[in-house]
Amino acid sequence: MGKPFKIILSTIAAMILLLIVLACILPFVIDPNDFKPEIAAAVKDKTGRELILDGELKLSLFPWFGISTGKIALSNAPGFQDRPFATIEESNVTVLLLPLLSKKIEVSRIVLKGLILNLAKNKQGIANWDDLTTKPVVPAVAVVDKQDEQPIPTATPVMFTIGGMAIENARINWDDLKTEKHIELKDLNLNTDKFTFDEPAGIAVSMTALEAGSTSIQAIKLNTELTVNEKLDTFALRHSDLQVTSSGENVPGKSLTTALTIADAALDMNQQTAKIYGLQLKSGDVTLAAAEMTGTSIKDKPSFQGPVTVAPFSPAKVLQQLAISLPAMQDANALSKLSANFDLTATADSADLQNLGLTLDDTQIKGAINIKDFAQSVISFNLDIDALDVDRYLSPADKSSKSIASPAVLLAAGLSALPVETLRKLNADGTVSLGKLKVKSLAMQDIHINLSSKNGIVTTQQSVKQFYQGSYSGNLSMDTHGDKPALAVTEKIDHVQIEPLLKDYKGEAKMSGIVDASAQLQGQGRKADELKASLNGQLSFLFKDGVIKGFNLQKIIDEGKAIIKGSALPSDNKNDQTLFSEMSGTATITNGLIQNNDLAAKSSKLRVDGKGNVNLNSEALDYKIDAKLLDSDAASAEPEQVKGAVAIDIAGTLSNPTYTINIASLLTDKNKAKVEKLIDKLDKKIGPGLGNLLKGLLK
């Protein structure tokens, strides 16, 4: 046994010595540049592309078998730009020779300098690398009987090691003719540590990205540790840090850095699963974190799930950093705090937020939002809000100058403020519940809003169960197909106390009582003023147990009678008011003008009829009222006995009405004759000026 063993050892030693000799001699005997035509022909045969070897090829054989090149260029695919698909100014790759005998591939550091890669897609979506990645058609193999099958020997695994890789000063050009986008990645540098299957290797990448037509520049840096298995179907990342710094005149502050860090990530291509731990995304003052995310169907239809947290930040400050100017608001501290947490399920075209908890200033929001299709704006939601003060986010001008608008009209104005194209594309269905709501100083409780939007038609149903000791309900329909949104509104209030409502809305109340009212309105416009100016429809109202403050109708009649009789006037009373047990009426609205022709009010001693109009645009009043004072001594079974009557003209505005008494209406025919004789006497003594004035008043 000893002699054969010595023979084997001698043979191996001789082979090694021969390889060493060949490694030393071959570089002087063989010139790889002589094989350039054969190399180019082989590439042409396999890819159909031209390979141009302009630089000198250098060969080394021992102890590293390797080759270094000068400039290399590979032609582009047919039908694309007349420029190379890829060019390399210089490259160097070597393999340790002796480990090849034991099926171990040990590659030294791979260096590529001056790489230029021109990637493109044409208008049909075909890429200029598709022909390089298309798998050849494998011919069908005849079925072999089980008994003829031979066992396939298991291949010994090949050990593979790369001492590292460096790509220096590379550039990648990306042209998409279909979307007309051009992106350039320049100053691309890649450095990796020694790479071995199933062992972590450090990777550092840096580059600069520019998009055609944009003045901003993105500087990108990535550092991570990558582990890959031998089958190239499982990947692991550790301590990943990606930073993107945007700079340019259009970038807020001329520079903005966004950082993404991931503690650990694992990808299994066979199972199509991914696990991500310790994810954090930070941009400016906004930080988004996910302790654990899982991915499924990552090759077919990627989907990721996991809890997400948005740390508290100031939206006002962030908007300021983004050079977005905020309008003045009634509360200087508005938009000072926002935070959120939710369970996220996201795909390429959808996002589902469950168990949502959001804090905006002092408002807590819970519920769920599901965006089923980003492109089609298909959204469903169910939100529960504890308390929301809308006024703090409105302009200070809205506080000093309040226009009359119902909840439905306010909602319509809010929707109309959105771009029409957005409303037309919106496909939404959801509900919002609010414990408390304050808007235009009106306080409401237990509010429910249902919203549905499809094919450019937006509909809402809203209700307020506690609305100034009464309730409110309404429906809104908005059609966005025209130049201006067209709306239809139906509203109703039941048993609402008008005095506290007016105090909240206007700061004072000149009326009190319980009101029932309903309205059916139509209008067009993008803003509240436009909507009011175009309003048409009908309304009806019924006041019960009402009081009009600062206006004593009975006293006005008594004063008129005292003037006629020449007796003493009743004493003034700053608490003058008119009581009525019931007041009702109906009205039509035409282009924002409310016309009422059947105003009727009554109390135990008064009967009032009236008609007139209210201009919603200017809030101007123009009313005429006929009031009758009844004889309270008359028996209930007898017809009503009129004790006095007066006609009153009401002008001014809703917030500041004025009252003018028609003196002539206080006079009987007998009294008118006496007064005219008295005026004639005054004309003779004083002159005709005063008489004419008094006669004018009588008219």
* 11 pLDDT higher than 80: no
Helix (H) or strand (E) holding 428: strand 427-439
The Cα–Cα gap between 499 and 577 comes to 14
Q: What is the pLDDT of residues 598-639, one digit of tens each?
A: 999 888 778 889 999 998 888 899 999 888 877 765 555 556
Segments in 98-223 forming alpha helices (H)? 130-133
Among candidates 27, 169, 167, which has minimal Cα distance to 109? 167
The Cα–Cα gap between 215 and 393 comes to 34
Q: What is the mean pLDDT of residues 157-178?
A: 80
What local confidence, expressed as pLDDT, does residue 153 receive? Answer: 53
Q: What is the mean pLDDT of residues 166-183?
A: 89
Lowest mean pLDDT among 46-60, 229-243, 630-644: 630-644
Residues 6+ apart with CB under 8 A from 221: 204, 205, 206, 241, 242, 243
- The answer to whether 662 and 648 are in contact (CB under 8 A) is yes
The position carrying tokens 């980003």 is 374
**C-alpha distances out from residue 28 to 33, 59, 62, Å:** 12, 10, 13
The Cα–Cα gap between 352 and 341 comes to 13
The Cα–Cα gap between 589 and 594 comes to 4
Q: What is the pLDDT of residues 203-214, one digit of tens each?
A: 999 999 998 878
* 184 pLDDT higher than 70: yes
Percentage of residues in the chain with pLDDT exceeding 70?
75
Q: What is the mean pLDDT of residues 455-462?
A: 90
Q: What is the pLDDT of residues 43-54, one digit of tens each?
A: 888 888 888 888
Strand partners, 275: 266, 294
Following CA atoms 505, 506, 512, 518 in sequence, which dihedral angle do they give, to the nearest 10 degrees? -50
pLDDT band at 395 (very low <50, low <70, confident <90, very high): confident
What local confidence, expressed as pLDDT, does residue 8 receive? Answer: 47
What local confidence, expressed as pLDDT, does residue 698 receive? Answer: 45
Percentage of residues in the chain with pLDDT exceeding 90?
36
Lowest mean pLDDT among 256-260, 489-493, 629-633, 644-648: 629-633
Task: Between 472 and 155, name the one with better pLDDT.
Answer: 472
What local confidence, expressed as pLDDT, does residue 426 receive? Answer: 83
What local confidence, expressed as pLDDT, does residue 95 receive? Answer: 63
- The answer to whether 560 and 627 are in contact (CB under 8 A) is no
Q: Treating both helix axes as pointing N-terminal to C-terminal, what angle do 669-685 and 688-698 enclose, rounded to 10 degrees?
A: 160
The Cα–Cα gap between 171 and 619 comes to 68
What local confidence, expressed as pLDDT, does residue 485 receive? Answer: 82
What local confidence, expressed as pLDDT, does residue 3 receive? Answer: 52
- The answer to whether 207 and 188 are in contact (CB under 8 A) is yes
What local confidence, expressed as pLDDT, does residue 468 receive? Answer: 94
The Cα–Cα gap between 68 and 561 comes to 120
What local confidence, expressed as pLDDT, does residue 679 receive? Answer: 47
Q: What is the mean pLDDT of residues 500-516?
A: 87
What local confidence, expressed as pLDDT, does residue 606 receive? Answer: 81
Q: Which of 137-141, 360-364, 437-441, 453-457 shows the highest mean pLDDT?
A: 360-364
Q: What is the mean pLDDT of residues 306-314?
A: 96
Residues 6+ apart with CB under 8 A from 145: none
* 25 pLDDT higher than 70: no
**C-alpha distances out from residue 85 to 70, 76, 127, 128, 491, Å:** 17, 4, 11, 8, 67
For residue 63, whether the previous peptide bond is cis, meaning omega lies within 30 degrees of 0, is yes
Query: Residue 33 has which token pair?
Result: 């540049």
What are phi and psi for residue 18, nearest 5 degrees?
-65, -45
Convert 390-407 to b/e letters by CB count within 10 Å (16 or more is b).
bbbbbeeebeeeeeebbb
- The answer to whether 654 and 614 are in contact (CB under 8 A) is yes
pLDDT band at 305 (very low <50, low <70, confident <90, very high): very high
pLDDT band at 370 (very low <50, low <70, confident <90, very high): very high
Q: What is the pLDDT of residues 528-548, one digit of tens each?
A: 677 778 889 999 999 999 888
The Cα–Cα gap between 613 and 624 comes to 9
Lowest mean pLDDT among 12-21, 422-431, 460-469: 12-21
Task: Between 267 and 617, name the one with better pLDDT.
Answer: 267
Q: What's the chain's average pLDDT?
A: 80
Query: Residue 79 has which token pair?
Result: 């039908």
What 8-state DSSP symbol labels residue 77?
P
* 129 pLDDT higher than 90: no
**C-alpha distances out from residue 205 to 71, 168, 208, 239, 280, Å:** 23, 10, 11, 14, 20
Q: What is the pLDDT of residues 280-295, one digit of tens each?
A: 999 988 999 999 999 9
Among candidates 257, 252, 262, 188, which has minimal Cα distance to 225? 262
Q: What's the whole-model pTM score?
A: 0.74
pLDDT band at 657 (very low <50, low <70, confident <90, very high): confident
Strands 165-176 and 104-107: unpaired
pLDDT band at 42 (very low <50, low <70, confident <90, very high): confident
* 686 pLDDT higher than 50: no
pLDDT band at 402 (very low <50, low <70, confident <90, very high): low
The Cα–Cα gap between 688 and 680 comes to 8
* 694 pLDDT higher than 60: no
The Cα–Cα gap between 201 and 207 comes to 20
Q: What is the mean pLDDT of residues 151-166?
A: 62
The position carrying tokens 């390429």 is 348
Q: What is the mean pLDDT of residues 365-386?
A: 93
Q: What is the mean pLDDT of residues 436-448?
A: 91
Task: Between 483 and 599, name the one with better pLDDT.
Answer: 599
What 8-state DSSP symbol labels residue 262?
E
What 8-state DSSP symbol labels residue 154?
P
Residues 6+ apart with CB under 8 A from 517: 492, 493, 496, 539, 540, 541, 542
What 8-state DSSP symbol labels residue 605?
S
Q: What is the mean pLDDT of residues 180-185?
A: 90
**C-alpha distances out from residue 558 to 29, 110, 129, 574, 600, Å:** 134, 110, 100, 17, 21
